[in-house]
């Protein structure tokens, strides 16, 4: 009946929203870093994974309280992001992009295997930070976890918007992403701005990691690979380097994933992200919200 399939469709949309928010949070990190240093931070998905683990340990230290766990995780990941940037990416700022990408792959693998080495390959169970409850909106269902994900994501995005458009550091970030050399000539400490960008991006990814830990309580060292990839596709889809693009792309990827399970066998799920990526790169590389750029000869 029409009513029920509409209901099912809306339900899927709702399910897709929280998944999309997660992708959006991670995608923001990709897009901000690319916007400022033109680097695809291959290791970003693994920062998300580290964030989840940090949350896991924080819950052990502070008890299963959401806010402290979230804050500790975000702070820790921010620090990690800055360390990675300073140690591995900063020295290669003038090097060809291939060198930086190779290093980023190295960092990604290091995080994955390092975590596995130190903590062990077996997945850990993320503690329940809140008691699960499902609410009903008419015939639609939504769990409090989903609501938490949506609220936290929204809150963080609003905070990011505030930082980027209403603070001095945000203005500096925008300046540096527009023209690094001009920004430096205007007295902006470009190195500091870049570090801050990495810190913010990593913190957002960690928040996503904690939220995912709550929603799907199994975490393992390789959990960052696929979400990282999908979030990257989301950032490219929306327009890499464009902050609203990351949010738009994230939501779209989340919805696409939830809806595609209806039509394709789940084993194709991961390939869908790649197919979308390749289509975007070939047909509209600047993304949905992006502008074309050409090289000056």
Partner 1 sequence: MKATLSNRYVVSAAGAILLYFVLSLAFGSNEYYSHVLTLAAINVILAVSLNLINGFTGQFSLGHAGFMAVGAYVAGGLTFFLKVPFLPALAAGALAAGIVGFLVGLPTLRLRGDYLAIATLGFGEIIRVLIINSDAIGLPMLGGPRGVRGIPGYTTFGWAYFFAVFTILVIANFINSTHGRACISVREDEVAAEAMGVDTTRYKVLAFSIGAAFAGLAGGLFAHQLQLLHPDSYTFLKSVDHLTMVVLGGMGSITGAAVAGVFITAFSEALREVQDLRMIVYSLSLIIIMLVRPQGLMGGRELTMDSVRRLWPGRRAAHTGGGARGTA
Distance CA 217, CA 117 (A): 21
Compute the residue count for the chain.
297
Residue 91 engages partner 1 in binding (rule: CB under 8 A): yes
Is the CB of residue 263 less than 8 Å from the CB of residue 12?
A: no
Residue 106 binds partner 1 (CB under 8 A): yes
Q: How far apart are CA 221 and CA 47, in angstroms?
A: 11
Q: Does residue 109 interact with partner 1 by CB under 8 A?
A: yes
Burial class (CB within 10 angstroms; exposed 0-12, middle 13-18, buried 19+) of 163: middle
95 binds partner 1 (CB under 8 A): yes
Supply φ then ψ for residue 136, to 5 degrees: -115, 130
67 vs 297, beta carbon nearer partner 1? 297
- Contact flags string 38-77 toward partner 1, x per CB under 8 A: -xx-------------------------------------
Residue 114 engages partner 1 in binding (rule: CB under 8 A): yes
Q: How many whole angstroms separate alpha carbon 273 and alpha carbon 234? A: 9
- Exposed, middle or buried: residue 57 (CB in 10 Å: 0-12, 13-18, 19+)? middle
When binding is defined by CB under 8 A, the residue of 8, 105, 159, 182 that contacts partner 1 is 105
- Give the number of residues in contact with partner 1, rule: CB under 8 A: 41
Q: Which is nearer to partner 1, 117 or 165 (CB)?
A: 117
| From candidates 3, 96, 138, 187, binder to partner 1 by CB under 8 A | 96
Q: Tell me which stretch binds partner 1 (CB under 8 A): 153-161, 163-171, 244-252, 281-289.
A: 281-289
Q: Is residue 229 within 8 Å of 43, Cβ to Cβ?
A: no
Q: Does 136 bind partner 1 (CB under 8 A)?
A: no
> Are the beta carbons of 85 and 195 closer than 8 angstroms?
yes
Point out which residues bind partner 1 (CB under 8 A). 39-40, 88, 91-92, 95-103, 105-110, 112-114, 116-117, 121, 232, 265, 267-268, 270-271, 274-275, 277-278, 281-282, 285, 295, 297
């Amino acid at each position: 009946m029409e009513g029920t399939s509409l209901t099912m469709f809306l339900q899927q949309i709702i399910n897709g929203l929280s998944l999309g928010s997660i992708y959006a949070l991670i995608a923001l990190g990709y897009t901000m870093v690319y916007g400022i240093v033109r680097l695809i931070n291959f290791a970003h998905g693994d920062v998300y994974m580290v964030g989840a683990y940090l949350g896991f340990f924080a819950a052990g230290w502070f008890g299963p309280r959401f806010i402290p766990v979230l804050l500790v995780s975000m702070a820790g990941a921010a620090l990690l992001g800055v360390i990675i940037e300073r140690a591995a990416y900063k020295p290669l700022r003038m090097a060809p992009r291939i060198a930086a990408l190779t290093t980023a792959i190295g960092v990604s693998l290091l995080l994955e295997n390092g975590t596995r080495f130190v903590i062990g390959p077996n997945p850990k169970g993320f503690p329940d930070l809140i008691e699960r409850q499902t609410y009903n909106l008419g015939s639609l269902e939504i769990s409090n976890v989903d609501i938490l994900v949506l609220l936290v994501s929204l809150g963080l995005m609003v905070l990011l918007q505030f930082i980027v458009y209403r603070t001095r550091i945000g203005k500096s970030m925008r300046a540096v992403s527009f023209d690094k050399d001009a920004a430096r000539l205007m007295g902006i400490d470009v190195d500091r701005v870049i570090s801050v960008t990495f810190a913010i991006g990593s913190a957002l990814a960690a928040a996503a990691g904690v939220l995912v830990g709550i929603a799907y309580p199994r975490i393992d060292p390789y959990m960052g690979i696929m979400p990282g990839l999908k979030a990257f596709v989301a950032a490219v889809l929306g327009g890499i380097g464009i902050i609203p693009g990351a949010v738009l792309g994230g939501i779209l990827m989340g919805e696409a994933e939830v809806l595609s399970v209806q039509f394709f066998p789940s084993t194709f799920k991961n390939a869908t992200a790649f197919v979308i990526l390749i289509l975007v790169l070939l047909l509209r590389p600047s993304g949905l919200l992006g502008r074309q750029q050409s090289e000056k000869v």
